[in-house]
Structure 1
Amino acid sequence: MKNKILLILCLLTGLMFINAGLDKFFHYMPMPKDMPEEMVKAGKAFMEIGWLLPLVGAIEILGGLLLVFPKTRPLGAIVLLPVLIGILLANICTAPSGLPIALVLLAVIVWVIIDNKKKYLPLIGK
């Protein structure tokens, strides 16, 4: 039962990251009307740096795809963790209304990391 729940959560989380990554390339999702001014400024700054949004988008797509498949899920969680920390910090600092979704995504990624902790041990030399 635990594996089925984790599969569904990883599928949904992976699809959310794939969607967010694709939006960084194709800009098909409208910006919310009530977005804080600081967040709008940050978005414009990211667009000024021409390589940053495509890089984050590619990482989100890659990490989302890796997270969907059980065999590559541990790698997907590690790939997505830095992006998710950035999302979490942005929501804490500028848009607390998005914090619940960011915390749910973080919980799923942390669950995957804890569930696969033995696979990460060779990375730290143990």
Structure 2
Amino acid sequence: MIKKVQFVLVLLTALMFLNSGLNKIFKYFPVPDDLPEKLKAMDEGFAAITWLNPLVAVVEILGAILLLIPRFRTLGALMLVPIMVGVLLVHITAAPSMIVLPLILAAVLVWVLYTDRAKLLPLIQA
């Protein structure tokens, strides 16, 4: 049962990251008008760094695809954690009222890494 719950949560998380990455490339969802001003300013600042959005988009898309493949799920989660840290920091500083969804996505990634911790231990053991 737990594996099924984890799969559903991972599937939803992967779809969120896939949508986010594809939207960075194709811009099919406009920026909402009701975003906090600080968040809009931060978004414009990130957009000024021309290479950053395509890089983040590729990592989000690739990480989402890897999350969906059980053998590579841990690698996908590892790829998405740095992006998730950035998302959390942006929301903490610019839009704390909108932090619920990023916290849920981060929790799913942490859960994936925790359940696959045996694969990660060789990376940190000397």
- Where on the TM-score scale, by shorter chain, does this alignment land: which range? over 0.9
What residue in structure 2 maps to residue 104 of structure 1? 104
Gaps of 5+ in 2: none
CA distance in 1, matches of 2:106, 2:49: 27
What residue in structure 1 maps to residue 114 of structure 2? 114
What residue in structure 1 maps to residue 67 of structure 2? 67
What residue in structure 1 maps to residue 10 of structure 2? 10
Number of residue equivalences = 126
Gaps of 5+ in 1: none
TM-score normalised by length of structure 1 = 0.95
CA apart distance, 1:39:
1.3
CA distance in 2, matches of 1:47, 1:88: 18
TM-score normalised by length of structure 2 = 0.95
Q: Which one-letter code corresponds to 1:114 in the other structure?
A: Y
Q: Which one-letter code corresponds to 2:100 in the other structure?
A: P
What residue in structure 1 maps to residue 44 of structure 2? 44
What's the % identity of the aligned pairs? 47
CA apart distance, 1:101:
0.2
CA distance in 2, matches of 1:93, 1:45: 14
CA distance in 2, matches of 1:59, 1:3: 25
CA apart distance, 1:68:
1.2
**SS of structure 2 residue aligned to 1:71:** helix
